[in-house]
Amino acid sequence: MTGTLIDGKASAARLREKIAATTADLKAAHGLVPGLATVLVGSDPASQVYVKNKRKTAEALGFNSVHVELPADVAQDVLLDRVRALSNDKDVHGILVQLPLPKHLDENAVLDALDPAKDVDALTPTNAGLLLSGRAILKSCTPAGVMLLLKEYVGDISGMEALVIGRSLLFGKPAAQLLLAANATVTMAHSRSRDLPALARRADILVAAIGKPEFVKADWIKPGATVIDVGINRVDAGDGKTRLVGDVDYEAAKAVAGAITPVPGGVGAMTIICLMQNTLLAACAQNGLPLPKF
Ligand code: NAP
C-alpha cells in the first residue's frame, strides 16, 4: 500500500489563482492594490532566495512590492525606524522582516515596532493572542497552509488525535492552536517529550516540524494516518551535491501513511502563497472591506 501524495504544489497553484482573481476584483471595484514590504538585513544566501521568491510572487499577483535592504551591521535604531516607517505607510498592508536577524539585533524589539495589522507572518504577541482567542485575521503562514492541505485531503478533522512535534513560535505553537480550533485533540511534543514513538503511534494526524532529517520513522506512524512533514533539511546527496529531505523518513513512511506530504512539493509550496493571502486579508481589513474567503 502507498499513501496518497498530498500535492502542496497543486493546492498552492489553486489558491494562487483565487488570490489573483480577488486581487484583480479589489483593484477594479475599490482601486485597492495590496502592498507587501520585505525587509532583508545582511546577505545570507538562503534569506536572499526566500525574499526574492516572496517579492516575485507578490509582483506576479499584481501586488505593490516594496523592498528594504540593510547591511548586516545596521544599527538597531535604524532598523526600527525603517520598520516604523513601513508600519505608518498607508500603501503598505503587509510587512515581512526576514528572520533570523544578525545576532546583534533584537528580534522582539523589531516585532514590537511592527503594526500587528501588517504582521503578515503573524509573529507579534498581538496576533499570537488573537489566534488563541479565535479572533485572528492573520495566521502564521506555514500552519495556515497545513490547515488548507488537511481541509482538502482529510476534510473534517473533528475529534481526531493530532500530534505536533516541535513548539516554535513560527510553526509548532500556531499549528497546535489551529488544529485545536478545528476540534482535533492536540498533543504537542518537543525535545523533552518522553517516548515520542508511542505518542506518534496514537496520532491520526502527525505533524513534524523538528528540523532533523528523516527523524520520524515509519514504525512510529499509525497505519492510515495523515503525515504532514514541515521539515526542510539539506543533506549530502553523495555525489558532491545536496538534496532536500523532510523530518520524516518519506520512502518508508509512505507505505504506512494514509496520506503524506513530500519534501519538497508539500507544505513548503503552500507557505509563500499563504503569505500573499495574509497580505490580501490585511489590505481588506485595513480598508474596512469584507474579508475574502478562500
Ligand atoms: P525550531 O525553532 O528549531 O524548532 C524545532 C522544534 O523541534 C523545537 O520545538 C524542538 O524542541 C523540537 N525538537 C528538536 N529536537 C527534537 C527531538 N529530538 N525530539 C522532539 N522534538 C525535538 O524549528 P522551526 O522553525 O519550527 O522549524 C522546524 C523545521 O521546519 C525546520 O526544518 C524548518 O526549516 C522547517 N520549516 C519549514 C517551513 C516551510 O515553509 N515549509 C516553515 C517553517 C519551518 P525544544 O523546543 O524542546 O527545543
Domain ranges for the chain, please list them. 30-115, 141-270
User: Can you name the CATH fold of 141-270?
Assistant: Rossmann fold (3.40.50)
> Does the C-beta of 211 come closer than 6 Å to ligand 1?
yes
* Catalytic entry in 98, 177, 277, 286: 98
Question: pLDDT digit of tens for each residue in the chain (294 aa)?
Answer: 689 999 999 999 999 999 999 999 999 999 999 999 999 999 999 999 999 999 999 999 999 999 999 999 999 999 999 999 999 999 999 999 999 999 999 999 999 999 999 999 999 999 999 999 999 999 999 999 999 999 999 999 999 999 999 999 999 999 999 999 999 999 999 999 999 999 999 999 999 999 999 999 999 999 999 999 999 999 999 889 999 999 999 999 999 999 999 999 999 999 999 999 999 999 999 999 999 998
Quote the pLDDT of residue 2: 87
> Does the C-beta of 250 come closer than 6 Å to ligand 1?
no
Q: What is the pTM of this model?
A: 0.97
> Does the C-beta of 170 come closer than 6 Å to ligand 1?
yes
Cα-to-centroid distance, 211 and ligand 1 (Å): 5
Closest atom of ligand 1 relative to the 171 alpha carbon: 26
Quote the pLDDT of residue 294: 85
In CATH, the number for domain 30-115 is 3.40.50.10860
Report the DSSP beta bridge partners of residue 5: 260
Name the residue at shortest CA distance from atom 2 of ligand 1: 168
